Structure 1
Amino acid sequence: MKRVVAFGIVCSAAILFLLVAYSKLSEDGLIRRGLTLTTGSGSTKESFLYRHQEDLLSNLTFPKQPTLTSAEALIDEASSDVSSSVDEGFVDIANIQKEVNEETTKRQNDNKPIVVVVLAQMRTGSSLVGEIFNQNPSIFYMFEPLHAVDSFIRHHSAAALRRQGLSISLLSMITKCKFTPEFIDSLSKWPLGKAKSSGFLPICKASDGCRHASHFLIEERCRAFGGRIGMKTIRADLNMLKPLVEKDKVNLKVIHLVRDPRGTANSRRSYYGDRRTKQQQMSRKGMSKPQVLPKMSLKTLGLLEENPRYHINTISKYCKWISENIPLARSRPSWLEDRYMFVRYEDLALNPVTVSEEIYDFVGLTMPRVIQEWLRNNTNQNNYQNRTFGMQKNSKEVMQSWRHSLPYEEVVQVQDICGSAMAIGGYKQVQRPSDLTNMSFDTLEPLF
């Protein structure tokens, strides 16, 4: 009898010990529905999510990478509520890595760390080029990460003098999958950036637009891609990328995208003109007589010359950017060897699938079939809606649209400012108004 009692006491003590140990482990965040949580510093007590979101997202690790169809679809998905996002189902890091690995084939870099940067300027087709990496489920893709620097400078104007240094530091951190709480806060306030970044989108969908997402969670998701990172930026130049190679030893690939300055000018004219018109219409509401709004020109919009309102977006700065960066690349600096590809938007628009395959060949990655399908579906729309950041456009028509909508006198103004940049990029100047409507007059020169 005594032996039975003693055995019972021992069993009870063992069970009590196991319960206490389990409670302690759960409390410290070590056991959470099968997911082991760690931080970069090795601490196990840091929570990936803010405390008031833990109950809602206790079973969230990493959502499956979505198959995207267009920028509009991304924006629609980003606006969905958390509950509908959770219903789609989640997988852990191991499953994400398994899916990434299954996408790879025999190419050398498919399973190796690689950072792809689409280097461009505003309204040059960079969103389209970025999408051929955003659509790739094996790449952690970011849309305009340097927007966070602009956001910081808007709140701390004195930091404008350190814009380049801040940008270089941020790019360096990103290549290491490091994200600060300030960066995530900036991202949470920018709907376009979230909607067009497949790297962030699943987490943002499940955390109230990333307003309650921890930077630790995003870092862990980034690392799950094995260092395969893609981004596009209109806020950098080649010199800002140099430290990534020389100091950080990053396996960098640069896609340097340019567009005919006349096409870029026409696109910016439409973008800023529409914004100005809407602002004027809002200010005139309630007036007894309808107001005739003056037609916006490049000059009245302040886009031809240096303008403090647009620190990177004037035509003069765009052409200066071309004139400085392309010759630098063609001088063949050692740090850029085998890392640089020059792409004209016009060549991509004429042959989107072929040029995209050439880009992937240069990068050394396999282009998934889904990207070919996406390009065919989104660059050959006969009846497209020309939304500002939409993807469903007939790229050939967009390429030539400036010849129909930019007045000849403004074409001449752009050519006067950008003559040398146009020559570098292989863009032929028009000499008379009839050249604009004569479509047999080719404005593209062969590059080689």
Structure 2
Amino acid sequence: GRVRGSPLWEMVNNFRGEGYEEELMVLEKAPEEPAGELPSLVVKVEETSTGRENIKVQEKITSSPSSPLLVLLLSSMPRGGSTLLTEMLSTKERSITFFEPLWPLQKKKCIEDEQCVTQYLADVFACNYNPDFERWLKTKDLFLSYFSSDAKECTRITDQKAKELCLKKLNLREMCLLSPIRIIKVIRARMAWMKNLLSNNSLDLKIIHLIRDPRGSLYSISKFKDWNKDPHERCLGLQEDLQSFDQLSQEFPTKLLQVKYENLSLHPHNVSKDILQFLYGDGNLPEYLVTYISTHMTNNSESHSMSTTKESKKQYEAWRFKMPQKMLKAVQDEPTCLYSIKYMQHTLFKDQKHARNSSISLFVS
């Protein structure tokens, strides 16, 4: 079982640093009782000499995996296909998925702090979160729907009382502890920050770096009223992540995989096989994933902005035929965006007319 002194627990304690307790964190304070009915956990709180709470968790879940596979899906920019890939990953049996657990931190100092974010992710991976986090997650239907099949069923209930009862019965922490595969999807963290996690050899951590042509992401972002649309700020993070990936993949070649949204869209079966081989050592596509690809990536109906049901072979470059000339020029003139477009070996378009010429490939041959 997961006991104090195990690799995950030690990692969590090692990352704790100044400022961690000052922010709203997953482990904001020691829970008096674990969320929900969880007799299999004993939580003991002790005051330390520094005045901080020292939390000891003794777990009696004998079937809890001793070394779970930890999967971090890191997308460098919003609107980059991360929802689609998260949904694909979450179809894996016995896995649990945390969709954007950094969301509560987006307006807090922690989100800009490497140690704070790394600690936060370490806590989530170790299922070390308090009832406040679980309550927050249960208010986010979209986020919760990826957690597990049971959670998804709850989010689909239309009767409010029945839904509340279903959610009350969900013990997310226990489900997390019992899961041998724990997946986290983030768009609010930088690749360089992951070095400490990657350096811990006792952790079975795999990172998928999802990237997309910044012109496509920025065009999609432009449709959201309150989102940051600045090409420099958006592409700077992407450029830094690309550079960090190249450095870290030299050091940790078996722990990192880069996936291009355009390739996933064009060749979903082949790219999915590569992902499965990377994560699980077996590239054979299970039937449920074949079904998912056929229902979600070859269908042209799109119900809303976060929908993952669309014809992916057209969707990945739809921005080319819609992007205004002014925006196209602004993005391509931004050095950090230009770096990323060239890194991905994508075509630079002279103007809007050039971009809308479907006989010109997006990919540099």
Q: Does 1:414 align with 2:364?
A: no
Cα–Cα, structure 1 residues 213 and 187, in superposed 2: closer, same or farther, change >3 Å? farther
Q: 1:361 — aligned with what? A: 277
Q: Does 1:146 align with 2:146?
A: no
1:163 Cα offset (Å): 4.4
Secondary structure of 2:41's counterpart equals coil
Q: 2:116 — aligned with what? A: 166
Cα–Cα, structure 1 residues 160 and 327, in superposed 2: closer, same or farther, change >3 Å? closer
Distance 2:68 2:83 in 1: 23
Q: Does 1:436 align with 2:355?
A: yes
Q: 2:174 — aligned with what? A: 220
1:233 Cα offset (Å): 0.9
- Same amino acid, percent of matched pairs: 22
**Bigger proportion of residues as helix:** 1
Q: 1:10 — aligned with what? A: none
Q: 2:57 — aligned with what? A: none
1:184 Cα offset (Å): 1.2
1:258 Cα offset (Å): 0.8
Secondary structure of 2:350's counterpart equals coil
Q: Which amino acid aligns with 1:256?
A: H
**Bigger proportion of residues as strand:** 2
1:126 Cα offset (Å): 0.5
Q: 1:229 — aligned with what? A: 182
Cα–Cα, structure 1 residues 249 and 335, in superposed 2: closer, same or farther, change >3 Å? farther
1:441 Cα offset (Å): 0.8
Residue ranges of structure 1 left out of the alignment (5+ in a row) = 1-34, 44-92, 102-110, 277-300, 305-314
Q: 2:237 — aligned with what? A: 321
Distance 1:441 1:322 in 2: 25
Distance 2:165 2:74 in 1: 27
1:245 Cα offset (Å): 2.7
Secondary structure of 2:88's counterpart equals helix
Secondary structure of 2:306's counterpart equals coil
Distance 2:125 2:206 in 1: 12
1:380 Cα offset (Å): 0.5
Q: Does 1:398 align with 2:286?
A: no
CA RMSD after TM alignment: 3.3
Deviations along 1:56-89, whole A, 9 cap, x unmatched? xxxxxxxxxxxxxxxxxxxxxxxxxxxxxxxxxx
TM-score, with normalisation over the residues of structure 1? Answer: 0.61
Write the mapping of 1:251-400 to structure 2, written as runs, cut at 5 A: 251-270=204-223, 272-273=224-225, 303-304=229-230, 315-332=231-248, 336-366=252-282, 367-382=285-300, 384-400=301-317
**Contact residue 187 and residue 210 of structure 1 kept, 8 A:** no
Q: Which amino acid aligns with 1:397?
A: K
TM-score, with normalisation over the residues of structure 2? Answer: 0.73
**Contact residue 353 and residue 376 of structure 1 kept, 8 A:** no
**Contact residue 213 and residue 340 of structure 2 kept, 8 A:** no
**Contact residue 126 and residue 232 of structure 1 kept, 8 A:** yes
Structure having the higher Rg:
1
Secondary structure of 1:331's counterpart equals helix
1:361 Cα offset (Å): 0.9
**Contact residue 142 and residue 200 of structure 1 kept, 8 A:** no
Q: Does 1:119 align with 2:36?
A: no
Secondary structure of 1:229's counterpart equals strand
Residue ranges of structure 2 left out of the alignment (5+ in a row) = 1-36, 46-60, 156-161
